[in-house]
Amino acid sequence: MVKDVNEETRGFRQHSYQQLCEEIYSEKHPRIIIFSIPHGNPGGEFVKALRPYMTKGDIILDSSNEFYGNTERRQADLAKDGIFYVGCGVSGDYQSARASPSMSPGGEPQALKIIMPLLRRVAAKDRSGKSCTSPIDPGGSGHYVKMIHNGIEQGMMSVNSEVWYILTKGLQLSYEEAAGVFEKWNQAPELCNTFLIYITVDINRTKNEEGRYVLGRIQDKVVQDVDNTEGTGTWSCEEAVRLHIPAANIRTADAEGSGRWQHSAMKVASKVELIEDLRKVAYFCLLLCFTQGLQIIREIDQQREWHINYQDLLHVWSAGSIIQAGRVMDLLHKVYSESPGQKNKLLSNS
């Protein structure tokens, strides 16, 4: 991997830390510094080291998976010197830096106005060519919606995981047969253009150097960053509890593996009919993950008076994002356009 990176970056300028700071100091104002490193203390230490080189009007854009409370503390601290701090949620696979991610920036309107032209150039584009980025609102709103995005993501992955477990343990399907099921689902109207369904096909078929399927050897746990903490998924569950939101799918996803019924081989009258029922259940559960996540966001939005535009937020997630899901997004777009004031969007007549 290091060799590949060296080859790909051949000809790029390489800097020592001191050279980097000197170049930052010499740049024209306002300067925009973008970083993405592990959340928590590493981010705080980076900002602390960078601060002496920043002046009034400069912008620091944190594209890490940071806890929104840390974002807001840094915003308040840097504001004393007139420095803007933008917390920007970034979603995409490990190639998103090259292939364009979904981006949700939050912070002071003055700073967002300056950085949005840049973000629109680098963000993923939807089918019409519109950039999948939009200013969320002040404070830590950008990192907050990304946190809940990751909670939705883990809920969706738990749905896939449970379905896969029933297919392979209950119905005794091979990995290749399970891949075929997900491949067929990816072409169905309700689940088409659902990224996590799409990649499940490849995941089922992937083998290691020894020719063994890797899926059966993966740890039943979702972690982020180099410190292997669970981060945003756990924070989403904590927020649901704190705000008294019954986000059952998201909260149970956090303990899915330990609470799973240990399936034995199932005797069914028709595997075809059961698999079709599973497809319908999977679609419904994915829809629930979205509505529960949006309900958490709506509650904090009302408490903080952020005035989030939910159609814009759904569009941000419509391409480049791990949770992009064509049919679900289309349905929720329709619901939010027709009943913007309704509390529980899932109960709309749509």
Concatenated DSSP letters for 203-248?
Answer: HHH-B-TTS-BSGGGS-S---BTTTTB-THHHHHHHHHHHTT---H
Rounded to 5°, angle at Cα 291 from 286 and 293: 95
pLDDT digits (tens, 9 = 90+) for 212-223: 998 877 766 666
pLDDT for 341 beyond 60 = no
Q: What is the mean pLDDT of residues 90-104?
A: 79
- Between 178 and 29, the higher pLDDT residue: 178
- Among 11-25, 132-146, 192-206, 266-280, whose mean pLDDT is lowest? 11-25
pLDDT digits (tens, 9 = 90+) for 202-254: 999 999 998 999 887 776 666 666 566 667 888 999 999 999 999 888 888 65
| Active-site entry in 72, 146, 190, 256 | 146
Secondary element (H or E) of residue 62: strand 59-62
pLDDT digits (tens, 9 = 90+) for 104-148: 999 999 999 999 999 999 999 998 999 999 999 999 999 999 999
Sign of the torsion angle spanned by Cα atoms 95, 96, 97, 98: positive
What share of the chain in percent tops pLDDT 70?
80
> Which domains occur in the chain, in start order?
2-143 (3.40.50.720), 144-347 (1.10.1040.10)
To the query of whether residue 267 is one of the catalytic residues in this protein, the response is: no
pLDDT for 97 beyond 60 = no
Question: Rounded to whole angstroms, how far apart are CA atoms 199 and 164?
Answer: 13
| Active-site entry in 45, 56, 72, 153 | 153
Residue-level pLDDT at 7: 52
Q: How confident is the model at residue 255 (pLDDT cuts 50, 70, 90)?
A: low
pLDDT for 2 beyond 50 = no
To the query of whether residue 153 is one of the catalytic residues in this protein, the response is: yes
The pair phi, psi for residue 64, each rounded to 5°, is -80, 170
Question: Rounded to whole angstroms, how far apart are CA atoms 104 and 88?
Answer: 5
pLDDT for 11 beyond 60 = no
CB-based contact 176:310 (threshold 8 Å): no
In this structure, the strands spanning 84-91 and 59-62 are parallel
Q: What is the pTM of this model?
A: 0.87
Q: What is the mean pLDDT of residues 324-346?
A: 78
Q: How confident is the model at residue 344 (pLDDT cuts 50, 70, 90)?
A: low
With b meaning 16 or more CB within 10 Å and e meaning fewer, what string describes 240-258? beebebebebbbebbebee
pLDDT for 195 beyond 90 = yes
Residue-level pLDDT at 194: 94
Residue-level pLDDT at 233: 82
